[in-house]
Amino acid sequence: MELVLTASLVGIGVGIVVGALGAGGGILSVPILTYLLGQSPHAATNGSLVIVAVTALVALPGKAKRGQVKWVDGAIFGALSTIGAIIGRQINHMLGGGQLFTLFGILLLGVSVYMFYNGHQRALLEAGKSKKAPVEPTGERNLVLVILAATATGLLTGLFGVGGGFAVVPVLMIVMKFNMREASGTSLLVMIIAAAVSMLTGIVQHSFHVDWATVLLFTVGSSVGGLIGGPLSQKAKASTLTYIFGVLLVLVALYTLAKTLVF
Three-class DSSP labels, 2-63: HHHHHHHHHHHHHHHHHHHHCCCHHHHHHHHHHHHCCCCHHHHHHHHHHHHHHHHHHHHHHH
Helix axes of 165-174 and 143-160: crossing angle, nearest 10 degrees: 170
Positive or negative torsion for Cα 80, 33, 46, 227: negative
**Distance between CA atoms of 76 and 182, rounded to whole angstroms?**
15
- What is the percentage of the chain residues whose pLDDT exceeds 90? 20
**Distance between CA atoms of 134 and 114, rounded to whole angstroms?**
11
pLDDT in tens, 185-237: 998 999 899 999 999 998 998 888 898 888 888 888 877 887 787 777 677 77
The number of folded domains in the chain is 1
Domain span at residue 229? 2-262
**Distance between CA atoms of 171 and 153, rounded to whole angstroms?**
8
pTM assigned to the model: 0.77
Type of residue at 132: K
User: What integer is the mean pLDDT of 22-44?
Assistant: 79
More confident residue, 201 or 51: 201
Q: Is 141 helix (H, G, I), strand (E, B) or coil?
A: coil
